[in-house]
Structure 1
Amino acid sequence: MTTTDELLIGLVSISDRASQGVYVDQGIPALQGWFAKALRSPWRMETRLIADDQALIESTLIELVDQVGCHLVLTTGGTGPAARDVTPEATLAIADKVLPGFGEEMRRISLNFVATAILSRQVGVVRGKALILNLPGQPKAIRETLEGVRASDGTLRVNGIFSAVPYCIDLLGGPYVETFDAVSRTFRPKSARPPDAAAQS
Structure 2
Amino acid sequence: MPIGVVTISDRASRGLYEDKGGPGIEAALTELLTSPWRPVRRLVPDERPTIEAALIALADQEACPLILTTGGTGPSPRDVTPEATEAVCDRLLPGFGELMRAKSLLEVPTAILSRQVAGTRGASLIINLPGKPAAIRTCLDAVFAAVPYCIDLIGGARLETNPQFCKAFRPKA
Report the Cα distance in structure 2 between the residues aligned to 1:130 and 1:37, rounded to whole angstroms. 21
RMSD: 0.8
Equivalent of 1:172, from 151, 154, 158?
Answer: 154
Report the counterpart of residue 61 of structure 1 in structure 2: 55
Q: CA deviation at 1:23?
A: 1.3
Q: Point out where structure 2 has 5 or more consecutive residues left out of the alignment.
A: none
Report the Cα distance in structure 2 between the residues aligned to 1:93 and 1:99, rounded to whole angstroms. 13
Once the two structures are superposed, the pairs formed by residues 1-201 of structure 1 within 5 Å of their partners are 7-147=1-141, 160-191=142-173
Q: CA deviation at 1:116?
A: 0.7
Report the Cα distance in structure 1 between the residues aligned to 2:35 and 2:56, rounded to whole angstroms. 25
Q: Which amino acid aligns with 1:88?
A: P
TM-score (norm: length of structure 2): 0.97
- The runs of at least 4 aligned residues of structure 1 exceeding 4 Å deviation read none
Report the Cα distance in structure 2 between the residues aligned to 1:161 and 1:17, rounded to whole angstroms. 28
Q: Deviations over 1:150-175 (max 9, x none)?
A: xxxxxxxxxx1001000001111122
Report the Cα distance in structure 2 between the residues aligned to 1:122 and 1:62, rounded to whole angstroms. 18
Report the Cα distance in structure 1 between the residues aligned to 2:112 and 2:39, rounded to whole angstroms. 30
Q: Point out where structure 1 has 5 or more consecutive residues left out of the alignment.
A: 1-6, 148-159, 192-201
Q: Deviations over 1:35-79 (max 9, x none)?
A: 111211221220001100001000110111111111110000000
Count of residue pairs the alignment pairs up: 173
- Whichever of the two has the greater Rg, that structure is 1
